[in-house]
Amino acid sequence: MGKNILNLSIIGAGAMGSAIASGIHLAQKKILANPEIKVPERYENTEIKLSICNRSQEKLDKLSKKIDFTAYEKIEEMISSEKPNLLIIAVKPKDISEILNSLKNISAECIIVSVLAGINIKTIEDRFPFNPIFRAMPNTPAQIGSGITALTYNKHCNDEHKNLVQKIFHAVGDVIFIDDENKMHAVTALSGSGPAYFFFLAEALIQAGINQGLNLEEASILVNKTFLGSGLLLNSSNEGAMNESVNSRSNNPSPETLRKAVTSPNGTTHAAISSLENNGFSEIINQAIQAASQRSKEFS
């Protein structure tokens, strides 16, 4: 029996588009090379034919040194030549109108996945009312296969569509389905923008370490490894709990439990946590997420 071909096209070769393309390419190679890795029966004889469109030939050339794909500089040409079964739009939100105008010849059966922050499904559905449409919010750790992608979808998406799109985004990390598209603003603020908050805190901690007498290298190593180890510790009991999504985890140690375990009464950590609480740390974080969520709503 020959392989089925899935024509998967991506518009955008920026950080996220490249991350998704690289993840798909590497995941497929691992599956094809290792017979012990099982995939859903519907897809076990499916091979992905990848094409990517981007205005910048430089970005396409850079990506082509890492993975195999067919490159295009014009969307219309890619759609006409590849006739994609699944199309991922990974560009800036401001470009959505131009992109949609370029998709007029797309098949009504093509699955459209938007990775545009703040752009709702209806914006795309108004132009393509019969297509299965997903809205996805991955984050930048997808670049190393450690992202988390939230997915929501329209009424034309069936279980087969959901399984396929879930499989695609599993190539760059974990996947969670969101039951209400309105929650995607919170998702964008929390996990979509979340890595920036993490890095911002790392910057502040490194500078604080320097202020206490450490040099840049010492402070950077200590902060980076502390963050890495703490993240792994928080996630440690999640290993083995992953089935199809992260929706049903219930027996994991909470951040609060782990924090209390390292916070001895009247100790050094207690002094730091008390200072954060007294300076309104939790409210500062809450206001930041609210601001990001509001900005996402303004894009809608």
Res 41: pLDDT: 55
Work out the average pLDDT over 193-215. 97
pLDDT of 1 strictly over 50 = no
pLDDT tier at 153 (50, 70, 90 boundaries)?
Answer: very high
pLDDT digits (tens, 9 = 90+) for 269-285: 999 999 999 999 999 99
| Chain center to CA of 181 | 16
The pLDDT value recorded for residue 89 is: 97
* 105-150 pLDDT, tens digit each: 999 999 999 999 889 999 999 999 999 999 999 998 988 889 999 9
Could you give all domains of the chain from N- to C-terminal order, each with its CATH number? Answer: 4-184 (3.40.50.720), 191-299 (1.10.3730.10)
Q: Is the pLDDT of residue 246 over 60?
A: no
Tell me what pLDDT residue 99 has.
94
**Residues 15 and 55 sit within 8 Å (Cβ to Cβ):** no
Q: What is the pLDDT of residues 45-87, one digit of tens each?
A: 678 899 999 988 999 999 999 999 999 999 999 999 999 999 9
Asked if residue 128 lies in contact with residue 106, where contact means CB atoms within 8 angstroms, the answer is yes
Confidence (pTM): 0.85
Cα separation, 111 vs 98, whole angstroms? 19
Q: Is pLDDT at 238 greater than 70 in this prediction?
A: no
Asked if 108 and 130 touch (Cβ cutoff 8 Å), the reply is yes
Neighbouring residues of 95: CB distance < 8 A, sequence distance ≥ 6: none
Query: pLDDT for 172-183, tens place per residue?
Result: 899 999 999 999
The amino acid at residue 223 is V
- What is the pLDDT confidence band of residue 25, given thresholds at 50, 70 and 90? confident
Q: What is the CA radius of gyration of the chain?
A: 21
What pLDDT was estimated at residue 248? 45
